[in-house]
Structure 1
């Protein structure tokens, strides 16, 4: 091979080595670019997901936050909207004594004063109730962006959106008055739609006089007049909880619960404790219906003791215990709208704890709202409709900004179980502990309860159930808080409300 050919081969070899080196470097750079691209793609997807989650789940909470300064500043240029009842009555509105340049003289009016105080709330001293829940609607125009810009440029004073609720003035007034001078609450809803018609609570306050009475009521921990007891009050349920124990027993004895029999001697004896029936009354031979109608503690504590505890807990949690029930499609994390009912039994609970819990004593705590919802589900063939209080929101031009939809919340029991519970609750009102309803012009289905609070005959008095006449029906929960046993009963309050509504 000539020297020239050798030189050429050497040059070709060097060229190939250089090419391979360049290829290797290029592949290295491509891998780095790919890794960088993947990292940026992951970051982009994460940011897009975070933004989407914020828009879908968080944005409305931020907008509705009464501490949001942008909303607060915007509200100063807008006449706060009106809150209406189901029948068109004004529950809260703004009295415009101000000029267009200064809205500071505007005052919020509450025509029904104490009657709707907790549910409607107030917009001074902070925000509560519907004034808080609907703050962004009440304090914004609800118009298009072009209209907003036009209003800003023209310096026109505009009105916030108006909120139309499902609250029934007549029912609310009757419920509030029926509680009398005691502490208590009434929660009423339509079982077929989920519309909340009444949330009455006593003691109460006049929201128009808030500045004058604030120092007194805000520190009154004994009476807690600011508390909406209907949705935020937690109470020992007493025998109304036997509805839950009954359902648990039915779940575990699907084919033979109708064969249940018990001979009540006025007390049930366990290893190291006993459960007494009311006043030690012996009910004698009972089937399931009579045990339920008589509210027999002996039968139900024995029943609870026989249940599979793990399955019992599963049934109770399936009835929305230990979770927040959503209202009006608001974020369910907002526990300031409706408290969780609390059920604390676990697989290590003692026999005494299970027996006490099965009759509604022990550490179980419920809200009147939740108990009314259980009654509503029984009335509605086992299905709880999602409770809602806001029917629609309109802007000042009458354009609907949002409209409630009637949707199912959850199926709490089967249709056959609901029908069976209806029969048991009818027996309560026919010949049982709520026979005060016997002979009424409407059908009543209910369960009474007397939750013992101490050894001094202080109790919570309960009535949970529903009534219907023709196409009209109401699900209700009534509780009297910490009263002397025998002084007044929740079933009497419920009867007054039903009598007035169905007359």
Structure 2
């Protein structure tokens, strides 16, 4: 073979090698990424050409796919009682992708999950059309409906948890939206719906229970500070704290006052229990400064602040600020300054107290079933960790029960049921109506439920107290959760 022929052979061999390498890279290494990219129309047609699995609650489908004729796509996604469940289900759109459970559990619903591999092989061998698996949620219809009705169209959120397992019993965010508008295959209607929902200044597409612009938790954060004090061993429920009408913050001429404008007790002193019962700002601001930033931050972390949760919806981590000076620490100790929280996190505070100090990981998925409705996965109840000792949890329950029986949260009381709670009124701007908070737990027999409610801009500056607005909502939700319909077979 002469030299030119040899050179040509080398070039041809290199070209074949390059072609083989690029084909291998595309078909094997990059296959998954290319298949799942939002711009892959073949993948979209493939997904909408199969029967996407159901999302169910208590055995009833709340998201299904129906076969349509004369359409570019074979199946249309439909949502029963769409606005009620939208904060959790999210939507599945041919143009705008998926959110909520539709996105978090897409591999199951689309039938591509590894858990469904053998079912896919069986369908292929039988020549059957591929189908998606189904996802059953932990939500309880009676509790979700009660939470939605009690929020009554106001901006805010409600979360209810089974304190012992972490199961989410209700998750409502207001205002909500109808996901059917975003599931349509009509391009004009779809574009109009997307534009209207995104232009809405009330942000209906945001699940306020777990994300968006997080809220200052206000006085609900006093549970964390009280827990840090009790855990330190230097305080009991009867320890007297300074509770003057106004507290001058260190190194400033700024004063911090109580909501009622009066001292919290005789001689400007109040017990830790009574400070929580009547939500004494000056006592908790002083207590936080005495404990120090590290102690308060560590206790917040034990309750879940900073935790990057997937339930499997992604939860924006709640935050407690760092590098605080004393005035900032005082404000942070009453849930102001730069403390930010989701309603889910605030519900977790009460859940850990009700559960003898053990914090459970919240969870929305009860089980996953294959195309023949055989259970292929059943998430277990997982502990995040111990937030406080059992003794501290018992003391906190005594203190939170006093809030409900003879404090700021009496509107949450349920006859014959052990109920503890904490009100909160969170300032978020000069002259703006505060956010009205309430977090609580209810224990009846072996049932333990924890609830958090936040109502945005719930009234005038003087009236938007969590005890007036949010406590009645929490009571309604707790009653629904403790009922046989609310608890159910989970």
Q: Secondary structure at the match of 1:119?
A: helix
Q: Provide the rounded CA distance (Å) in 2 between the counterparts of 1:113 and 1:439.
A: 31
Partner residue, 1:184 = 156
Instruction: Give the alignment partner of residue 193 of structure 2, picking from 188, 196, 213.
Output: 213
Q: Secondary structure at the match of 1:90?
A: strand
Instruction: Give the alignment partner of residue 278 of structure 1, picking from 245, 248, 259.
Output: 259
**1:478 Cα deviation (Å)?**
0.5
Partner residue, 2:454 = 479
Structure 2 residue 77 is matched with structure 1 residue 108: yes
Residues 258 and 206 (structure 1), Cα distance of their counterparts in 2 relative to 1, 3 Å cut: closer
Partner residue, 2:319 = 342
Partner residue, 1:296 = 280
Q: Provide the rounded CA distance (Å) in 2 between the counterparts of 1:400 and 1:103.
A: 33
Q: Provide the rounded CA distance (Å) in 1 between the counterparts of 2:170 and 2:35.
A: 24
Partner residue, 1:30 = none
**1:377 Cα deviation (Å)?**
1.0
Q: Provide the rounded CA distance (Å) in 1 between the counterparts of 2:99 and 2:116.
A: 28
Q: Secondary structure at the match of 2:87?
A: helix
Give the length in aligned residue pairs. Answer: 430
What is the TM-score when the length of structure 1 is the normalising length? 0.80
Gaps of 5+ in 2: 1-29, 183-189, 484-490
Structure 2 residue 346 is matched with structure 1 residue 366: no
Q: Which has the larger displacement, 402-411 or 186-195?
A: 402-411
- Cα pair 2:156 2:175 within 8 Å, conserved: yes
Structure 2 residue 116 is matched with structure 1 residue 134: no
Q: Secondary structure at the match of 1:213?
A: helix
**1:65 Cα deviation (Å)?**
5.8
Partner residue, 1:173 = 145
Residues 439 and 187 (structure 1), Cα distance of their counterparts in 2 relative to 1, 3 Å cut: closer
Residues 146 and 479 (structure 1), Cα distance of their counterparts in 2 relative to 1, 3 Å cut: closer
- Cα pair 1:113 1:208 within 8 Å, conserved: yes
Instruction: Give the alignment partner of residue 451 of structure 1, picking from 410, 426, 435.
Output: 426
**1:393 Cα deviation (Å)?**
0.9
Instruction: Give the alignment partner of residue 307 of structure 1, picking from 270, 280, 291.
Output: 291
When the two chains are superposed, the root-mean-square deviation of aligned CA atoms in Å is: 2.6
- Cα pair 1:360 1:451 within 8 Å, conserved: yes
Q: Which has the larger displacement, 419-428 or 453-462?
A: 453-462
Q: Deviations over 1:323-364 (max 9, x none)?
A: 312425xxxxxxx61001011132xx2221011111111111
Structure 2 residue 309 is matched with structure 1 residue 325: yes
Partner residue, 2:24 = none
Residues 144 and 79 (structure 1), Cα distance of their counterparts in 2 relative to 1, 3 Å cut: closer
Q: Secondary structure at the match of 2:230?
A: helix
Instruction: Give the alignment partner of residue 247 of structure 1, picking from 224, 227, 231.
Output: 227
Gaps of 5+ in 1: 1-58, 329-335
Instruction: Give the alignment partner of residue 90 of structure 1, picking from 57, 61, 70.
Output: 61
Partner residue, 1:39 = none
- Cα pair 1:114 1:205 within 8 Å, conserved: yes
Partner residue, 2:203 = 224
Q: Provide the rounded CA distance (Å) in 2 between the counterparts of 1:326 and 1:123.
A: 19
- Cα pair 1:66 1:72 within 8 Å, conserved: no
Structure with higher Rg: it is 1
Q: Provide the rounded CA distance (Å) in 2 between the counterparts of 1:236 and 1:247.
A: 19
* Mapping for residues 457-468 of structure 1, pairs under 5 Å: 457-468=432-443
